[in-house]
Structure 1
Amino acid sequence: MEYVVVALCLLGALVLLNLLLTLGLVRRMRHQDELIAETRHKGQHRSPSGLPNDVPVPEFATVTVEGQDLTRSWLTDGTTAVGFIAGDCPSCEAQLHAFVDLLKQRRKEENKSLVVLVEVPGMLPETEKELVGTFDGLATMTKESLGGTLQTAFRVRAYPAFFLIDAEGVVVSSGNTPDILLDGDPARP
């Protein structure tokens, strides 16, 4: 009988300890949710990766899909929208329509745009052809593997990523939705 009482007391103590730990975890999760909500409210467009605003884009050299050389100096002729799109990326697919619409608008206004298609392992050739066709005539386009030259220069680690670059090659705005390309454009009222 004594063993049963001791076992029940231990079990009761474990239940109380579990309850206290659960309440502490719930409290901490609420605090974490508040921090996340506050961060989203302050900078809802901010990308988790990439060059921060007011930082010049470092030197780079790559080649477009048409075979033309592309360097940082190409960015310094007016404002340039830059978008990094990864193949087979659900988040990229969700932003694709808005990005294409924005590129069409920038094209009408004779502003430059650059699309970087990031080729991920396992990406189907059909997906690549479809994406290249989507941006054909709308923007200068490059293709590169994960960790490529432009991704390194722009410090991109998450997709999609969008940047607006001013005439001096400095990041005006950056984020993970294409609307930052409108919000930060100094040529817009």
Structure 2
Amino acid sequence: MGFLVAALVLVGALVVVDLVLTLGVVRRLREHSALISQALESGDRVADFMLPTGTRLPELRATTVDGAPVPEQGPLLVGFFSPTCRACVERLPGFVDYARAFDGRVLGVAVGAHEDVEDIVARLRPVAEVAVEPAEGPLATALRVRGMPAMAVVDADGVIVGSGYELVALPKLSTV
């Protein structure tokens, strides 16, 4: 009988500890949700996923999956996407639609190992010149990509006229 009481007390104590830990996790998730919402509303903290508007396009040294040098002259649309990024997967179809209507060259950068980015490459290839590189590769370094997805439009003079993590950060197609 004493063994049964001890087991019940132990199980009860474990339940209380689990409840306290669960409440702590819920509290932290609420704090993080509030911080993420605040960052998305302000726009300041997440707008600099890559070089900002007004910056001159740096020299880009990389090759596409077809072996050609990546485009360096505008008008140019650039997008960075990773298969491990849920927002990238969600925004890729919109980027492809924007690229179809874009009057200029398009560079799509799939970030990750070649075998992991095959789907992204296949979706970008009909509308873009595609490069594959690891995180912090030469293109991401040159364009100072700090998060993904990251997109930018470069005008004919080589100046970035819009950049961000969402298509709304890019100029309307009629003004490019």
**TM-score normalised by length of structure 1:** 0.65
The alignment of Structure 1 onto Structure 2 pairs a total of residues equal to 143
Give distance in 1, aligned partners of 2:45 and 2:128: 22
Amino acid at match of 2:145: V
Q: Unpaired segments of 5 or more residues in structure 1? A: 1-28
Give distance in 2, aligned partners of 1:45 and 1:139: 29
SS in 2 for 1:159: coil
1:40 maps onto 2:27 in alignment: no
| Structure 1 position 47, deviation (Å) | 2.4
Structure 1 runs of 4+ aligned residues shifted over 3 Å read 43-46
Give distance in 2, aligned partners of 1:141 and 1:66: 8
Label 1:45 to 1:116 Cα distance change in 2 as closer, same or farther (>3 A): farther
Label 1:96 to 1:45 Cα distance change in 2 as closer, same or farther (>3 A): farther
Give distance in 2, aligned partners of 1:81 and 1:146: 20
Conserved in 2, the CA contact under 8 Å of 1:45 and 1:176? Answer: no
Amino acid at match of 1:128: V
SS in 1 for 2:123: helix
SS in 2 for 1:172: strand
Give distance in 2, aligned partners of 1:112 and 1:132: 16
Q: 2:124 aligns with which of 135, 147, 150?
A: 135
Give distance in 1, aligned partners of 2:41 and 2:154: 23
| RMSD, matched Cα | 2.7
Q: 1:53-75, CA deviations, whole angstroms, 9 ceiling, x for partnerless residues?
A: 111122121111100122xxx33
Q: 1:170 aligns with which of 159, 163, 167?
A: 159
Larger radius of gyration: 1
Report the equivalent of 1:99. Answer: 95
Amino acid at match of 1:64: T
Q: 1:81-108, CA deviations, whole angstroms, 9 ceiling, x for partnerless residues?
A: 11010122111011112112112222xx
Report the equivalent of 1:54. Answer: 54
Amino acid at match of 1:114: L
Give distance in 1, aligned partners of 2:45 and 2:127: 23
Give distance in 2, aligned partners of 1:141 and 1:179: 22
Report the equivalent of 1:5. Answer: none
| Structure 1 position 80, deviation (Å) | 1.1
SS in 2 for 1:52: coil
Conserved in 1, the CA contact under 8 Å of 2:82 and 2:117? Answer: no
| Structure 1 position 167, deviation (Å) | 1.0
Report the equivalent of 1:151. Answer: 140
Label 1:89 to 1:164 Cα distance change in 2 as closer, same or farther (>3 A): same
Give distance in 1, aligned partners of 2:122 and 2:46: 28
Q: Identical aligned pairs, as a percentage?
A: 29
